[in-house]
Amino acid sequence: MDLVTRLRDRGVKVTEIPKWGPYLQYRWEQSFASHLNKSEKEAIHLYDKERICGFLWHVFSYETVVCLEGEQARGRLEQMKNMSCYIFYEMEDAAYIIDRVTSLKAIDFERERDIYVVDVDFTWTYIRPHESPWYGPYFYCHNKVERR
Q: Which amino acid is at 24?
A: L
Do the Cβ atoms of 95 and 68 come closer than 8 Å?
no
Tell me: pLDDT of 77 over 90: yes
Does residue 138 register a pLDDT over 90?
yes
Q: Distance between CA atoms of 94 and 111, rounded to whole angstroms? A: 17
Name the pLDDT band for 147 (thresholds 50, 70, 90).
Answer: very low
Locate the domains of the chain by residue range.
3-141
pLDDT value of position 146: 41
- Check residue 9 and give its pLDDT: 87
pLDDT at 48: 61
**pLDDT value of position 131:** 79
Nearest-angstrom CA–CA distance, 29 and 23: 10
Is the bond into 18 cis (omega within 30 degrees of 0)?
no
Residue 135 is predicted with a pLDDT of 85
Task: Give per-residue pLDDT as tens, 41-70.
Answer: 888 888 766 655 678 999 999 999 999 999
> Band of the pLDDT at 73, cuts 50, 70, 90?
very high
pLDDT at 96: 96
At residue 75, the 3 state secondary structure works out as: helix
Q: How much is the average pLDDT of 11-34?
A: 92
Three-state SS at 128: strand
